Chain A
Amino acid sequence: MNHPFLKNKGIIFYTAVWLFVAILFGLSLGYFYDFSTKEANIDSFIFNGTFYGLGLAFWFVVRYNSFDSSQILNLIVSHLAAAALSVAAGVFITITILKNVLPQTEESLIYLNSSIVWRSGLGLLYYAVLILVYHLIKYYDDLRDRGQQHAQLETMLKESELEMLKSQINPHFIFNSLNSVASLTITAPSQAREMVVKLSDFLRYSLGKENHQLNTLEEEIANLMLYLEIEKVRFGDRLKVETEIDIESLNHTLPNLILQPLIENAVKHGIYESLEDVTIRVKAKTEKDILRVSMTNEFDPKAVSRKGKGIGLKNVRERLRVIYGVPKLVFTETNENLFTVRLDIPQPSEK
């Protein structure tokens, strides 16, 4: 953070306030000590001028001390030290200069020596007021910064949620499915209606959930099957699905749509890249509070793959890491023409 009085027009305001103080000071001197106007002005100019300069430096005491309850002692000590040092320095500088500038008489020497006490008091007052003002400025700035940060964080969060959603549901799947519906309306209208219902159910489930939500395996598997049924309409008998799911696992939870990128990968590397029939196997069981869901698909190991692989898997890995705070929950295995991916989802232990 920059010095509040050295940026923009801060210095003008600061100087104006000090001029006002200096005039008041000069008038008071004339009132209490019966000074000539000239001498009063000289004294006022030098004393207040010194603190004008020192006052700018007080900012750094505030700037580099956080106002934090755990460090309150620290803060008090540093302020006391800074106050003592700066007031002593200010008074010393003033007296030294005034000794040389004012007419060198016995009177003025006595005056100067006796003024040390009230000058110190006044210096402390200056210090206190300035520190208060600086704290207020800093507090206000922090508040504004935090507001901005908060707003920024919020947009970032929204964007990442949107990105996540996009990575979970492939838009081409939707458009291709809609094209299939258009085709079915000509050749098999009743199937078209069925497809629209399935697609709607799938989208309602997928779009209607919060990203951080945990769903039961039963709900997630049902949605997965819906997706596979839609793909079956597109690819016909070529796509075969086998499931092996322990009944007691059905109530266990896993993050919303976490399986979607995996099933899309399985379909992509199986069906999209193959000319033959493809079987996808989905298994789930729970062991020692860990829900293990695995998905196996056939693929052509000789196929020269194109780019764009592994982004879905990377996202899944990253999401699980963030949600559960455990680094490795995704395991993959390639066995000849079979690719298996397994998720280990920790379950809250049942008491």
Chain B
Amino acid sequence: MIKAIIVDDEKLARDIIKAYLQNFAQVELIAECGDGFQGLKAIQEHQPDLLFLDIQMPKITGFEMLELIEKPPVVIFSTAFDQYAIKAFEMNATDYLLKPYAEERFKGAVQKAIDKIQTKTSAQKEIETLTEKREELSEGIDRLVVKTGNKIHILGLDQIAHFEAQDDYVAIHSDQGKFLKLMRMKHLEDNLPSGDFIRVHRSHIVSIKHIEKLELYEKDSYLLSLKTGAQLPVSRSGHSKLKEVLKY
């Protein structure tokens, strides 16, 4: 039996998926969720094999929700936004339903998903490339969604003082505390607004607004103090970037 969950903020949109799913005896709908938070909870609780996911939803988007799941199921997106559709196909999403969609189209998508689940193609890998590709394609970051335990935090960029590389993770130092998120520094460097953040070191990206002072530490080596009290090393190239931005 394949376990499925629907996450969509419109009841009628969930209803039609539910109705179409009745033709698939091997798929069991175990939960319906109206937003990303409920979706996360249900996924943790039920560990579904298949996820129907809307993108534009209150609070956190479908993409942001997916980023927070450690072992994501096979995903079929369903949305009215075709600008994401083009991206999703480039990302090898299992399928992408553009609302409104024909029942035949839906059947095809579910069949594809079932085949994938039964042949045990690593869904994990699929999603990894999916979220990774999304990072490459994204046109700038304007906020970050992180999870600690069961709590989800949405961090505005102005709340973030600095980022610190920690192996495969990045530690985000913000007003709301310190959070770890699986991502690469390069991705942050490329997609954060360049007027607001600088990579001052291989392991550090700082918010320009949060800079307190820059001091000479040893010969040729600088130390950056932030308003939060944090002190960060500055590399040679980081120093020249700082010089350019701060114009001193």
Chain A residues engaging chain B, CB cutoff 8 angstroms: 171-172, 175-176, 178-184, 186-187, 233-236, 271-275, 303-304, 306-307
Known: A272-B56, A273-B59, A306-B143. A176 touches B10 (CB 8 A): yes
Q: What chain B residues lie within 8 Å of A181 (beta carbons)?
A: 100
Q: Count A/B pairs, Cβ under 8 Å.
A: 66
- Which 9 pairs between the two chains have the least Cβ-Cβ distance? A183-B16, A175-B80, A179-B99, A183-B12, A179-B100, A304-B156, A180-B12, A304-B154, A172-B80
Q: Bound complex: CA of A258 vs CA of B12, how far in Å?
A: 29
In the bound complex, do residue B142 and residue A303 qualify as a contact, i.e. CB atoms below 8 Å apart? no
Q: What chain B residues lie within 8 Å of A175 (beta carbons)?
A: 80, 98-100
Q: Bound complex: CA of A171 vs CA of B79, how far in Å?
A: 12
Q: List 24 A-B contacts (CB under 8 A).
A: A171-B80, A172-B56, A172-B81, A175-B98, A175-B99, A176-B10, A176-B99, A179-B99, A179-B100, A180-B10, A183-B12, A183-B13, A187-B19, A233-B12, A235-B10, A272-B56, A272-B58, A275-B37, A275-B58, A275-B59, A304-B143, A304-B154, A304-B155, A306-B142
Q: Bound complex: CA of A171 vs CA of B11, how far in Å?
A: 20
- Residue among B12, B19, B142 with max Cβ neighbours from chain A (10 Å): B12
Q: How large is the interface on B (under 10, 10 to 19, 20 to 34, 35 or more residues)?
A: 20 to 34
**Distance (whole angstroms) from the CB of B179 to the closest CB of chain A:** 14
Q: Bound complex: CA of A171 vs CA of B100, how far in Å?
A: 12
- CB-CB contacts below 8 Å: B112-130 with A: none
Known: A274-B58, A275-B58. A234 touches B34 (CB 8 A): no
Look across to chain B and name the residue whose beta carbon is closest to the beta carbon of A271. Answer: B58
In the bound complex, do residue A179 and residue B58 qualify as a contact, i.e. CB atoms below 8 Å apart? no
Contact of A182 among B16, B143, B156 (CB under 8 A): B16
Q: Does B15 contact A (CB under 8 A)?
A: yes
Q: Does B164 contact A (CB under 8 A)?
A: no
In the bound complex, do residue A236 and residue B99 qualify as a contact, i.e. CB atoms below 8 Å apart? no
Q: Bound complex: CA of A307 vs CA of B34, how far in Å?
A: 23
